[in-house]
Amino acid sequence: MDFRFSQTFGHLQQEGYLVKSSLLSGFDHLLKANFSDDAYGHFYSAFFHLSIGIERILKLAVITSHMIENDFKPLTDAQLKADFGHKINKLYGHTIKIANKHSLEKYISPESESVDFELLEFLTDFANQARYYNLSMVSTPAAKESPLARWYGLAMRVLEDEYSFSKMCKDANKLFYEPEQNMMAGYTYERDFEGHPMTYYDVTLRFRRTAKSAPYMVWRLIKLLKPVYEAHHDISMTAHEIEAAHQQDQKSRPRLPTIPYMYEFFPFLLATRADSIRRKRWLPLF
């Protein structure tokens, strides 16, 4: 048995490890992120890891799909940059087409203004410009919505959808008298996203809603990436069928494996809703 692999196989394998680590680290940082001094940084770490991981898992699908259709010749860097750049939303739409080309199940891109659509837009903006938001506001102040404000708005939409608006109101009502009972009524030094002073109630409500929404945000991201997992599965299987046929036709000139089973790097994308919401840590498990 020949245990050799092509150089391309090794590079794709390493990219799989990179993407896996980026996505799982993003999930973990998202679960730790909140509006407190010791947790603010986790938001930015989550955004960096997720934007990198999602962009690269999508580019892997685009590259390997092109390879199996073009005698295993990959797209060039220039082609990738010209066609997609860091446009995660555009990459996602193209990957959905790839998934539909190879799969019996048909997938559709998120509808405009839906939460999933806005999540892709957020990550696209962060990958291209919003990651520089704080420095840009120092050098050139402008009326731009901060990444944290935008993410919180998306998180509340997801929480309302997944957890329910009535439960959110019930939790808010329960909290109403808690600051006074703890002798912490009144205003704090914290500011909301528009710069207005926040009461202890406002601060606590935002903190608890953010923590409550985090597992649901992870679930929405996993659900968004499930078609991408299926695309990688089908591409990998097709690649190895082509390679097996090549070995039979040209026994004297064996072709070394070129594309790994990429989907095996991402078993966590098969997580159910219940598992996704319950899980507190991701990276150590995979």
What stretch of H or E contains 199? strand 197-199
- Name the pLDDT band for 256 (thresholds 50, 70, 90): confident
Task: Round to whole Å and give the CA distance between 102 and 279.
Answer: 31
- Name the pLDDT band for 1 (thresholds 50, 70, 90): very low
pLDDT for position 202: 93
Q: Do the Cβ atoms of 215 and 223 come closer than 8 Å?
A: no
How many Cα neighbours within 13 Å face the side chain of 135? 4
pTM for the full model? Answer: 0.93
> What's the rounded mean pLDDT across residues 250-277?
87
Strand-pair partners of 191: 197
Q: What does DSSP assign to residue 262?
A: G
- Name the pLDDT band for 245 (thresholds 50, 70, 90): confident
Q: Which of 35-44, 56-65, 168-177 is the least confident region?
A: 168-177
Name the average pLDDT for the chain.
92
pLDDT for position 176: 84
Residue 152, C-beta contacts closer than 8 angstroms, at least 6 positions apart = 193, 206, 210
pLDDT for position 100: 94
Give the amino acid at 151: W
Whether residue 208 has pLDDT greater than 70: yes
Q: Cα separations (Å) of 139 from 135, 142, 192, 255? A: 6, 10, 22, 55
End-to-end C-alpha distance for the chain, whole angstroms:
29
Residue 34, classed as helix, strand or coil, is coil
- Name the pLDDT band for 253 (thresholds 50, 70, 90): low
For the chain, how big is the Rg over CA atoms in Å?
22
Task: Round to whole Å and give the CA distance between 132 and 107.
Answer: 34
Residue extents of the structural domains in the chain? 7-144+218-285
For 126-146, the pLDDT digits (tens) are 999 999 999 988 988 876 889
Question: How are the residues of the chain apportioned to helix, strand and coil, as percentages rounded to the nearest 5?
Answer: 70, 5, 25
For 137-185, the pLDDT digits (tens) are 898 887 688 999 999 999 999 999 999 899 999 999 988 877 767 767 7
- Name the pLDDT band for 24 (thresholds 50, 70, 90): very high
Task: Round to whole Å and give the CA distance between 34 and 211.
Answer: 7
